[in-house]
């Protein structure tokens, strides 16, 4: 097991190198050359000369790449053209917003998806089962930005139950020790801030969580159906065990393996879904940061953002694989 984890960690190294190489080449392939790309079109000749020296653009590519890696290792991702702040600072300031949204979306998806899939399997081919199948099919066919707009229309515009943009009412005074607003409100005992930030979280979380919800429900249903036909379930029934205990201990526990894998994979994909959800709800996270970077040709932020997202994605997948190995000792890893 430990060997497996170590091997996976070692495999991470070439992937991270490859990623950095892609992002490095990406900036150099941008229209107008990296100097203009990183500084913007209104850069002065002096600025240009400075960055060209800094990046060593007259030197051979391998040397430039080496320098780029050195900068990366010290956490230097360059400076944003539009805000003049270091890219690393922008990323760390925005990350909690996206992460908070992703967690809320996952709580929604798991909390609803597993019971739904389980009940659907128990009532196989019943009304509820078919309804959940149809729902999950629609769930995977609906673009996340359209769903986000629909939710906004119904619950914010028409019914007025929930706020439609931002993370918190700007009139609420909330300190931000962590930039996770829900956590911040709890830490500073600001209950008004807590209810308001939770209210702001609901619609984006549902929009972002619906696709994972559909997929988790489908997988849970399939896995539960598989386990329900196992001999040990029949044996447990035959010896007169309480059906609720069979459900919990025999069925659900064994059905969880594929579900956990899917949950992990979905968590990684949530990061991209967040880009679209954040746009609709004007959520100040990494997604809006990246989109603004595209809009204002802020390539320093764009390359940093892509690298950051990709590394996060890779780490998340690694975590899934490792947790899967822990959960499923039946699988032997070479």
Contact positions vs other proteins (CB under 8 A) = 14-15, 18-19, 22, 26, 29-31, 137-138, 140-146, 149-150, 152-153, 157, 218, 221-222, 225, 268-269, 271-272, 275-276, 279-280, 290-291, 294-295, 299, 302, 306, 309-310, 313-314, 317
Shortest gap between Cβ of 280 and other proteins (angstroms)? 7
For other proteins, give the closer residue by CB, 152 or 167.
Answer: 152
For other proteins, give the closer residue by CB, 131 or 294.
Answer: 294
Q: Which of 138, 106, 142, 107 is nearest to 266 (CA)?
A: 106
Structure tokens at 316: 């998340």
Mapped onto helix, strand or coil, the DSSP state of residue 250 is: helix
Shortest gap between Cβ of 141 and other proteins (angstroms)? 4
Mapped onto helix, strand or coil, the DSSP state of residue 79 is: strand
For other proteins, give the closer residue by CB, 20 or 190.
Answer: 20
Burial call 162-189: b when 16+ CB within 10 Å, e when fewer:
bbbeebbeeeeebeeeebbbbbbbeeee
Question: CB 25: neighbour CB atoms within 10 A?
Answer: 12
For other proteins, give the closer residue by CB, 181 or 221.
Answer: 221
Shortest gap between Cβ of 330 and other proteins (angstroms)? 20
For other proteins, give the closer residue by CB, 222 or 241.
Answer: 222
Q: Which of 275, 271, 267 is nearest to 113 (CA)?
A: 267
Beta bridge partners of 86: 79
- Is the sign of the CA dihedral 59, 62, 64, 70 positive or negative? negative
For other proteins, give the closer residue by CB, 16 or 241.
Answer: 16
Q: How far is CA 299 from CA 71, 85, 258, 326, in A?
A: 16, 13, 39, 40
Shortest gap between Cβ of 255 and other proteins (angstroms)? 12
Q: What DSSP line would sit under 17-79, residue for residue?
A: HHHHHHHHHHHHHSTTHHHHHHH-TT--HHHHHHHHHHHTTTS-HHHHHHHHHHHHHTT---B
Contact in structure between 177 and 184 (CB atoms under 8 Å):
yes
For other proteins, give the closer residue by CB, 131 or 245.
Answer: 131
Contact in structure between 275 and 107 (CB atoms under 8 Å):
no
CA distance 100 to 117: 25
Structure tokens at 183: 């956590």
Contact in structure between 213 and 115 (CB atoms under 8 Å):
no
Shortest gap between Cβ of 202 and other proteins (angstroms)? 18
For other proteins, give the closer residue by CB, 194 or 259.
Answer: 259
Shortest gap between Cβ of 139 and other proteins (angstroms)? 10
Shortest gap between Cβ of 296 and other proteins (angstroms)? 11
In the chain, how many H helices and how many E strands?
Answer: 14, 0
For other proteins, give the closer residue by CB, 18 or 243.
Answer: 18
Shortest gap between Cβ of 327 and other proteins (angstroms)? 21
22: CB partners within 8 A, 6+ apart: none
Shortest gap between Cβ of 132 and other proteins (angstroms)? 12
């Amino acid at each position: 097991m430990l060997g497996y984890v170590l091997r996976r960690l070692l495999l991470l190294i070439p992937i991270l190198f490859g990623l950095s190489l892609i992002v490095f080449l990406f900036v150099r392939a941008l229209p107008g050359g990296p100097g203009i790309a990183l500084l913007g079109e209104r850069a002065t000749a002096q600025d240009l000369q400075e960055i060209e020296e800094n990046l060593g653009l007259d030197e051979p590519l391998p040397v430039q790449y080496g320098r780029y890696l050195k900068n990366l290792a010290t956490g230097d991702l360059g400076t944003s053209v539009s805000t003049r702040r270091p890219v690393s600072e922008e990323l760390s300031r925005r990350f909690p917003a996206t992460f908070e949204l992703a967690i809320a979306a996952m709580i929604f998806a798991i909390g609803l998806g597993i019971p739904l899939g389980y009940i659907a399997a128990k009532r196989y081919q019943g009304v509820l089962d078919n309804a959940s199948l149809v729902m999950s099919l629609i769930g995977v066919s609906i673009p996340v930005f359209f769903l986000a707009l629909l939710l906004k229309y119904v619950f914010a515009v028409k019914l007025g139950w929930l706020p439609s943009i931002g993370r918190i009412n700007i009139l609420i005074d909330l300190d931000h020790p962590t930039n996770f607003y829900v956590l911040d409100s709890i830490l500073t005992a600001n209950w008004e801030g807590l209810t308001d930030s939770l209210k702001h979280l609901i619609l984006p979380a549902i929009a972002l969580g619906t696709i994972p919800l559909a997929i988790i429900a489908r997988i849970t249903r399939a896995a539960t159906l598989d386990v329900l036909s196992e001999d040990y379930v029949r044996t447990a029934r035959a010896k007169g065990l309480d059906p609720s205990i069979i459900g919990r201990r025999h069925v659900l526990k064994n059905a969880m393996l594929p579900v956990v894998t899917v949950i992990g994979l979905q968590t990684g994909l949530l990061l991209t879904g967040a880009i679209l959800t954040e746009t609709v709800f004007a959520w100040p996270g990494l997604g809006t940061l990246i989109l603004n970077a595209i809009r204002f040709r802020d390539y320093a932020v764009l390359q940093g953002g892509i690298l950051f997202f990709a590394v996060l994605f890779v780490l998340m997948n690694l975590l899934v694989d490792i947790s899967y190995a822990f959960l499923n000792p039946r699988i032997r890893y070479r």
